[in-house]
Amino acid sequence: MVGIQDSNARWRTLLQEQYAREIQVLASGWPKQPGLTINFSDIQAWDPSFAQSLIEYPKPILRAATESLRALCAEGGWEIDPTLRIIELPHDCNRSLREVGSDEIGRLISSEVIVTKVSELKPRIYHAQFRCVICTHVTEVAQLNELELFEPVECSDIDGGCGRSAGGKSGTRFELIHENVTLVDNQWIEIQELPENVTGGAQPARATILAEADLANVLLPGMRVTVNLVPFIRTEKTRAGKTPMFNIYHSLVSAEHENTPFNEIEISEEEKKQIIEISKRSDLYELLTNSIAPSIFGAGKLQMVKKSLVMQLFSGVARRYSDGTRARGDIHILLMGDPGVAKSQLLTYMSQISPRGKYASGGGISGAGLTAAAVRDAFNDGRFSLEAGILVLADSGLAAIDEFDKMNKDDRSKMHEAMEQQKIHISKGGINATMRTRCAVLAAANPRLGRFSHRGQTGLDISPMFEEVDLPPALMSRFDIIWLLRDDVVKEQDMQIAEHILSNRSSGISEALIEEGREVDPKIVDEESTMKKGYNGEDQLTISMFQKYIAWAKRTTHPVLTAEAKEEITKFYIDTRTKDSDEDNSVPITARALEGLVRLAEANARMRLSSKATLEDTKEALAMFRMWRYELMGDEFDEGMINTGRSAKKRSAEQVTLEVMKKLSGGKKDIDVQVGDILNEMAPLYDEYEVENALQQLSMRSTIYQKETGRWRFVN
């Protein structure tokens, strides 16, 4: 209690002795610099007992700190109202949100969290003045409760009032005086514990914090911060009245933004040495690929899919330019496949192994959905507040989205901006905000009718593959890699898959025995080691070491393409663009593919912890690029079909139809053209179905219209 009684004097001494220069800087920077920030370690070194009192009784001591700071500013001739903030609390003050209970009430604690919702700013008064409507006497009442306004009980006659009580026939009423009242910005914020700190099967703990003054409007949904808090309680209220139960809220003392990516993953010096040794292995690519979802047998194409997922984990380098634009470094991958080809298992594994990974199903999301939303009643006041979706919460990580084709319309419209620009603009309910979605997207989509047709393998039109998935072409074009996974019958491969699944099934440990404590969870055993052996004896990284390897690579390595690498990509692009095609209207490659190739090459260099993306890295990227394009469409790849949803032949049919109509009408727009004449002219190249489809597409784009059955005319 000694620390509370003389806290003003102690703060005054500390500020005068050690922070005189900082106070001068604060005064010159006001109001852009709203307060003075002090490290807790400085207080602890100056007076350990006072530092301990600050932990135990933070509210009165911090109040005294701000009063002392403002008094010193006033004595120096500066008319400012700064606030003193404490940061970097000791490790023993750190608490998980689920651990905060009655013992922590009123104490100073810290917690690593992610922001999920924020309310709009709300002004608040701390000292309210009320005027008696009968005698006009003014009574001042301190407002200590954030959730309720307290009015005077009576107009006290001791200090000049009429002595009447509030209410009743002979009583009085009190009016709140709005003039000469200082309002302070307040904001309610919902926080959630970090996903990597949540134990398996548990829900992330949530809490509501109150940000005041300069801390309001600082935190946005999706931010990862260390918050320093003082928990407090308020009576739980129901329709029947107050209950003996209490709700825990938190008063925000300060927030420390994490600037270093993946700093939440602790890597020891010994582990750093192991990571560097692993990066020098000659079989590094095979090691990392084999470490991706080892329980899934990587046969044939699936092995290449796993390799692309490794590239996605490491990603390219996001860059900013002098004109304010930004190039994303994250690699987006889409898995289109039949049921039973392990898409969901791959997504689940990737969300677990990726630092800051998130998993969601496009068909089972509500509220903020995949992106973000302005929602009502987030804090029981009927107003709008921002709520972060999966992509915002996975910022700087990976978002694995299953059933991507079944997302709602609102998310679908926002996904273009979220994937390419990696940010989302929200304008609703008076809220205008921008939230970052700097994450890689791994999505899986199923065919509409259950299984894909087999047209593409026979050299026929590939477009039905895209028509069988409920995804708009513009959204599909945002993906760097699109894999088409079929459940084909291949006897030798089916035999290997069966043997692998049975071997994998037999090697697991009974869940009942683990829960009873009679067996050790194999995941815990893996976390204590660096390497493990696969079912065929191949080396694999444990999940823990794989995460640390990725985090270290993305934290320390930012590769740049060499001159030879740039030349190789340029040569491939020019050669592909000038390649002869059977379809005059085909687009074998666009400029968007160049950025995708750069990202793949940079990711390949990052795996090796190399600061340069060399010619070999570029060749690996080109091999991956050629592989998925060939698997999707064969030799005659048409990127225009991904962008438009229609093959070159269909696009060509539309152009030919327009030319035929111009010929038959003499170029006049007021002349009807018989559909039979169009069919006869186009018969050598296209069948009746293709011509009819071309006419319908042109009609939908308002290029032509049907004046009456069988007669078409150009739109004026």
Q: Using one digit for the tens of pLDDT, what is the confidence trace for 620-669?
A: 999 888 888 877 766 666 555 565 555 555 556 777 777 777 877 777 77
- C-alpha dist (Å) from residue 402 to 345, 353, 355, 451: 10, 16, 19, 16
> If DSSP states are collapsed to H, E and C, what string results for 461-498?
CCCHHHHCCCCCHHHHCCCCEEEEECCCCCHHHHHHHH
If asked whether residues 366 and 295 sit together in one domain, one would say: yes
Partners of 345 in the beta sheet? Answer: none
- Report residue 709's pLDDT band, with 50, 70 and 90 as the boundaries: confident
Nearest 5 degrees, angle CA 559-CA 562-CA 564? 145
If asked whether residues 107 and 238 sit together in one domain, one would say: yes
Rounded Cα distance, 171 and 494, in Å: 88
Which of 257, 274, 303 marks a domain boundary?
257
Whether the predicted pLDDT of 324 surpasses 90: no
Helix/strand/coil for 423 = strand
Instruction: Name the more confident of 552 and 657.
Output: 552
What is the structure's pLDDT at 464? 47
Residue 36 lies in a domain: yes
What is the structure's pLDDT at 605? 92
Residue 172 lies in a domain: no
Q: What is the CATH number of the domain that holds 637?
A: 1.10.8
Helix/strand/coil for 74 = helix
Interval 76-102 mean pLDDT: 84
Average pLDDT value over all residues in the chain: 78
If asked whether residues 639 and 671 sit together in one domain, one would say: no
- Report residue 463's pLDDT band, with 50, 70 and 90 as the boundaries: very low
Residue 544 lies in a domain: no
If asked whether residues 448 and 314 sit together in one domain, one would say: yes
Whether the predicted pLDDT of 466 surpasses 70: no
Residue 421 lies in a domain: yes
CA-based Rg of the chain, rounded to a whole angstrom?
33
Residue 503 lies in a domain: yes
The boundaries of the domain holding residue 222 are 93-123+184-257
If asked whether residues 335 and 393 sit together in one domain, one would say: yes
If asked whether residues 323 and 390 sit together in one domain, one would say: yes
Whether the predicted pLDDT of 455 surpasses 60: no
Interval 55-79 mean pLDDT: 85
Whether the predicted pLDDT of 2 surpasses 60: no
Residue 221 lies in a domain: yes
Q: Which of 80-94, 473-487, 590-604 has the lowest mean pLDDT?
A: 473-487
Q: Which of 41-55, 293-307, 490-504, 579-593 has the lowest mean pLDDT?
A: 490-504
What is the structure's pLDDT at 500? 52
Q: Which pair of structure tokens corresponds to residue 609?
A: 């912890």
Interval 209-229 mean pLDDT: 83
Q: How many domains does the chain have?
A: 5
If asked whether residues 675 and 613 sit together in one domain, one would say: no
Residue 324 lies in a domain: yes
Q: Which pair of structure tokens corresponds to residue 474?
A: 């513009």
Rounded Cα distance, 526 and 351, in Å: 18
Interval 158-179 mean pLDDT: 81
Whether the predicted pLDDT of 84 surpasses 50: yes
Which of 644, 675, 693 marks a domain boundary?
644
Interval 431-457 mean pLDDT: 74
Q: What is the CATH number of the domain that holds 119?
A: 2.40.50.140
If asked whether residues 314 and 332 sit together in one domain, one would say: yes
Per cent of the chain over pLDDT 90 is 5
CB-based burial of residue 700 (10 Å sphere; 0-12 exposed, 13-18 middle, 19+ buried)?
Answer: exposed
Q: Which pair of structure tokens corresponds to residue 11?
A: 């703060």
Please state at what angle helix 20-29 crosses helix 7-18, rounded to 10 degrees: 90
Q: Which pair of structure tokens corresponds to residue 121?
A: 């700013």
Residue with tokens 């989302």: 424
What is the structure's pLDDT at 456? 44
What is the structure's pLDDT at 459? 40
Rounded Cα distance, 263 and 269, in Å: 14
- Report residue 184's pLDDT band, with 50, 70 and 90 as the boundaries: confident
Whether the predicted pLDDT of 680 surpasses 60: yes
Instruction: Name the more confident of 674 and 523.
Output: 674
Interval 45-59 mean pLDDT: 86
Q: What is the CATH number of the domain that holds 33?
A: 3.30.1640.10
Among candidates 677, 654, 682, 680, which has minimal Cα distance to 664?
A: 677
- Report residue 258's pLDDT band, with 50, 70 and 90 as the boundaries: low
Residue with tokens 């009580």: 165
What is the structure's pLDDT at 237? 74
If asked whether residues 327 and 457 sit together in one domain, one would say: yes
Half-sphere exposure of 94 (CA within 13 A, CB side): 9
Interval 383-407 mean pLDDT: 79
Whether the predicted pLDDT of 564 surpasses 90: yes
Rounded Cα distance, 47 and 706, in Å: 88
The amino acid at residue 575 is D
CB atoms within 10 A of CB 576: 17
Whether the predicted pLDDT of 460 surpasses 50: no
- Report residue 297's pLDDT band, with 50, 70 and 90 as the boundaries: low
689 sits in which H/E element: helix 688-700
Whether the predicted pLDDT of 236 surpasses 90: no
Residue 263 lies in a domain: no
Q: What is the pLDDT of residues 582-592, one digit of tens each?
A: 445 556 677 78
Which of 598, 614, 644 marks a domain boundary?
644
Dihedral sign for Cα atoms in the order 350, 352, 356, 357: positive
Interval 283-295 mean pLDDT: 84
Among candidates 370, 373, 385, 374, which has minimal Cα distance to 416?
A: 370
Q: How many residues does the chain have?
A: 716
If asked whether residues 637 and 612 sit together in one domain, one would say: yes
DSSP string, 345-366: HHHHHHHHHSTTEEEEETTS--
If asked whether residues 78 and 222 sit together in one domain, one would say: no
If asked whether residues 324 and 397 sit together in one domain, one would say: yes
